[in-house]
Structure 1
Amino acid sequence: MALPSDATAKLWSVYKAPTNVLIETEDERTFIIFISEAKGNFFLFNGWSDVFTHLGLKTGYLVMTPLDSTRFKLTYFVNGVSPTCFWISMVPTASHFTVIPDCILPKSHDYTFTDLISTIHLGNKKFHIRVETFNGKVCFTNGIDVIVTQYQLEVGSYFLFTKWFGHSFHLRIFGKNGLEMNFDDVHVDDADIPPIDYVQDVALTAVAEQANGHIIRFVRMAADYFRLPDDVSRKAKLDFGLKSITIRLLHLNPHKEFPNGTRREKRGKGYRYALKRWSRFMNIAGIKVGDTVYFCFDETKQVLSVERVVPPVSRS
């Protein structure tokens, strides 16, 4: 197996590479693997097949964590999941959710009916990510896009999740070159991370959502879909049948106004509602995936307004 050149350059130079390394597997077996060099690249050679035979692997992902310059801890993944509560997932594009493997999920929660908020630790940063059922799969949804946007992750990178306790997880990120990414030089302003649908122990009307008479204000991170909050759905009387509501784009000069249809989605024993033609909505409003959008819904007039659009925080 070829080793990434960026990693070997940091561990060894062409002239100082060891003749062998020790690989420690998750079941505490240690293997001596001999190193082969060709044209400045290094390969795991004699003894590497013994590791595959021991683990019974044919295909899958491998993560090698250096313990020192000649010892590595090996974590392996079959169908994306390791035996010790790790799982690996490709960084999602704007049109994908991050699926959580069934074997990782606590069995005490009914994911088919209620959503919840998970805490994900990435280095010294903490993110709140919504967990919900989508197309029969339990996924990270709102909030994963915050991580992708804030850290400017590319398609082809990988998330490596470690189960912690309850619905909390540790996250490591690997680039397309296979190396773990270090975000010490990235500034993330927590105040600019938009709130998601709710946090634990807070009502479903969400952080920064508040009812004032016939008005509800709420904030969303723009993705390639838009689901209406439950309170807005009820006040828009969508439970009694699908209908159009009026859209006002107050952040534009001049303001724009147009009708927009709604659609119904199955959710456990009930339904939830979303806007139709969301991509058209984004184009007209000048909203991009990752923007923070401030909404206002007027129950009396049945009007959903965009009051403000804030682009994501970039690298410092």
Structure 2
Amino acid sequence: MTESSSSEPSFCRHSNRADEFLMALPSDVAAKLWGVSKAPTNVLIETEDGRKFIVFVSEAKGMFFLFNGWSDIVTHLGLKTGCFVIFTPLDSTSFRLTYFVNGVSSTCFWTSMLPTASHFTVIPDCILPKSHDYTFTDLISTIFLGNKEFHVKVETFNGKVCFTAGIDVIVTQYQLEAGSYFLFTKWFGHSFHLRIFGKNGLEMNFDVVHVDDADIAPIDSVQDVALRPVAEQANGHIIRFVRMVADYFRLPDDVSRKAKLDLGLKNITIRLLHLNPQKEFPNGTRREKRVKGYRYALRRWSRFMNIAGIKVGDTIYFCFDEIEHVLSVERVVSHVNLS
């Protein structure tokens, strides 16, 4: 995996025809690289094969372009429309250039995030270990993003091997926008490092981003906690909430409503994303009458706790997908007895 040896940000470009003659720097790149000062007149670009090129920088209407000298790089590397290029700063005026033809470069591949409800990523055949039969056996891949680790399911979908369940967790936790770019670098086995570039082309730094660190209020009674979420966040068709485990579990009203339990839906799908391998199974619900209306709970909660490996007092981070009717356990924080 190519990493910057500078504190300057890496950036990418999905090239179009005009980029074969002059390369437009993505918006905000100049400000990130050179601040409010004027851009340098030229930069040094080193390709993966060790060749070095001096490329002049021009400005027009507030935009910066790699101009004279850039066409030499295009010719040398055979870059075409649709190529994906990454500029990794060595310092503020020199860069190492990595390029991808047909989406793949050695052990890496890239994809852009589409504006769809379900997120999955096709893995190129040349990236996959040849020893595994992906048509019959599903498996779990470990994806490292910044200082976090995610478990993502790998399965065959419409004849293609894809990352499926778990990619949506990354998208929702980091609130990624359609048009962002994913760069996967194979590590060992079915493990990958992931770099993400925003719509503006700048690489996003997730080492300083903390997810799932909800502020949990002091809890005096485990039994009371099951009646209310400790923290709750709605994000499109995704609802996230945090609960401390009691000896029963009632669904938040928003989840009950969006799961359409009042319309007769009895089962929802449970996904245990915190396990390796992950597990999935259907789980029944029951309706409990209260003074005004009804509330809903999961059946066979003790079985759920046993399968998930959780205990009373643990804190669970849940995610509910209202479209797929899937309740996922994303993270479990074990209870610590301080007495």
TM > 0.5 fold call: yes
Give the equivalent residue in structure 2 for 1:24: 46
Deviation of residue 5 (structure 1)? Answer: 3.4
Q: Distance in 1 between matches of 2:87 and 2:288?
A: 49
Give the equivalent residue in structure 2 for 1:238: none
Alignment partner for residue 7 of structure 1, among 17, 29, 36?
29
Give the equivalent residue in structure 2 for 1:254: 294
Give the equivalent residue in structure 1 for 2:271: 220
Superposition pairs of residues 150-229 of structure 1, within 5 angstroms: 150-189=173-212, 219-220=270-271, 229=280
1:48 aligns with 2:63: no
Give the equivalent residue in structure 1 for 2:327: 293
In structure 1, give the amino acid aligned to 2:201. G
Aligned sequence identity (%): 71
Deviation of residue 248 (structure 1)? Answer: 4.1
Q: Distance in 2 between matches of 1:287 and 1:104?
A: 30
C-alpha contact 2:27 2:200 (8 A) present in aligned 1: no
> What SS does structure 1 have at the residue aligned with 2:72?
helix
C-alpha contact 2:119 2:167 (8 A) present in aligned 1: no
Q: Distance in 1 between matches of 2:175 and 2:286?
A: 28
Give the unaligned 5+ runs of structure 1: 193-216, 223-227, 233-245, 257-285, 295-308, 311-316
TM-score by length of 2: 0.59
C-alpha contact 1:248 1:255 (8 A) present in aligned 2: no
TM-score by length of 1: 0.63
Q: Distance in 2 between matches of 1:109 and 1:29?
A: 38
Give the equivalent residue in structure 1 for 2:108: 86
Q: Distance in 2 between matches of 1:250 and 1:28?
A: 67
In structure 1, give the amino acid aligned to 2:145. L
In structure 1, give the amino acid aligned to 2:79. L
C-alpha contact 1:14 1:40 (8 A) present in aligned 2: no
In structure 2, give the amino acid aligned to 1:63. I
C-alpha contact 1:145 1:290 (8 A) present in aligned 2: no
> What SS does structure 1 have at the residue aligned with 2:91?
coil
C-alpha contact 2:118 2:168 (8 A) present in aligned 1: no
C-alpha contact 1:35 1:42 (8 A) present in aligned 2: yes
In structure 1, give the amino acid aligned to 2:149. K
Q: Distance in 1 between matches of 2:101 and 2:288?
A: 48
In structure 2, give the amino acid aligned to 1:111. Y
Deviations 1:50-79 (A, max 9, x none): 111111121211111111111111111112
Q: Distance in 2 between matches of 1:221 and 1:146?
A: 12
> What SS does structure 2 have at the residue aligned with 1:129?
strand
In structure 2, give the amino acid aligned to 1:175. G
Over 3 Å counting, the alpha-carbon distance change for 1:111 and 1:254 in structure 2 is same
Over 3 Å counting, the alpha-carbon distance change for 1:290 and 1:182 in structure 2 is farther
1:144 aligns with 2:167: yes
Deviation of residue 47 (structure 1)? Answer: 0.8
Deviation of residue 249 (structure 1)? Answer: 5.7
Deviation of residue 19 (structure 1)? Answer: 1.3
C-alpha contact 2:270 2:327 (8 A) present in aligned 1: yes
C-alpha contact 1:61 1:77 (8 A) present in aligned 2: yes
Give the equivalent residue in structure 2 for 1:243: none
Give the equivalent residue in structure 2 for 1:57: 79
Deviations 1:97-126 (A, max 9, x none): 110011100101100110111110001100
> What SS does structure 2 have at the residue aligned with 1:17?
coil
1:72 aligns with 2:95: yes
Q: Distance in 1 between matches of 2:288 and 2:148?
A: 31
C-alpha contact 1:221 1:290 (8 A) present in aligned 2: no
Deviation of residue 185 (structure 1)? Answer: 4.5
Q: Distance in 1 between matches of 2:130 and 2:27?
A: 42
Deviation of residue 96 (structure 1)? Answer: 4.0
Deviation of residue 11 (structure 1)? Answer: 1.4
Q: Distance in 1 between matches of 2:134 and 2:205?
A: 33
Give the equivalent residue in structure 1 for 2:141: 118
Deviations 1:276-312 (A, max 9, x none): xxxxxxxxxx952598616xxxxxxxxxxxxxx99xx
Aligned positions, number = 224
In structure 2, give the amino acid aligned to 1:81. V
In structure 2, give the amino acid aligned to 1:288. E
Deviations 1:144-181 (A, max 9, x none): 01000100111111111111111111101111111111
